[in-house]
Amino acid sequence: MNVARWRRGLRFAQRWLLNMAAALGALCLLGFLVCVAFGLRPAVVISGSMEPAYPVGSVTFAKTVPVSEIRVGDVVTLPRNDGNGLVTHRVIKIERGLRTDRALVLQGDANREPDLLPYEVAQAGRVVAVIPLAGYLVQAVQANFFLAVAVLVSITLLAAIPIKETHD
């Protein structure tokens, strides 16, 4: 393989890499703007309790609404009663709470029994969209943040290396 052909291939790879990076960046920015504009909060599904509708590794997007707008059948994301993270389950019943007018009884689609205690909250995140498998990427970046930044910087540097034109 001659040097000119090798350089042309390298320039093509650089352009492709920069285009893919620009597209990914634009997609991330668009996703962020959509979440901000519509008041959506993303969450990663970490258990199989809502399968098959919401498989493990999915990203759900929830809009926070007053609990009075929640209906039986809605899928909601709430803080767990024990304060240990979030739960995304389906509302199977709405009853009068001990402290509030409405308490949400939740159950995962794949669970045989409802959650142990009802959720007495003023507002809830009603799930409006889901992207299957996207959560794996989110979790990988979160777990290896500095590695992800190092890879992005390396790709940027490689894509920015000037390649001389040769005329054969």
124 and 147 inside one domain: no
Number of domain units in the chain: 2
Domain hosting residue 110, numbered range: 61-128
- The answer to the question of residue 19 being in a domain is yes
- The answer to the question of residue 107 being in a domain is yes
DSSP letter, residue 39:
T
Q: How does pLDDT run along the chain (168 residues), one tens digit per residue?
A: 577 788 888 888 888 888 888 888 888 889 889 999 999 999 999 999 999 999 999 999 999 999 999 999 999 999 998 888 999 999 999 998 888 889 999 999 999 999 999 999 999 999 999 999 888 877 777 777 787 778 777 777 777 777 666 555
User: In whole angstroms, what is the distance from residue 127 CA to residue 75 CA?
Assistant: 6
113 and 146 inside one domain: no
- The answer to the question of residue 18 being in a domain is yes
113 and 148 inside one domain: no
pTM for the whole structure: 0.75
Give Cα separations from 75 to 6, 78, 88, 93, 104 (angstroms). 54, 10, 7, 12, 11
User: In whole angstroms, what is the distance from residue 19 CA to residue 24 CA?
Assistant: 9
Are 109 and 95 in contact by the 8 Å Cβ rule? The answer is: no
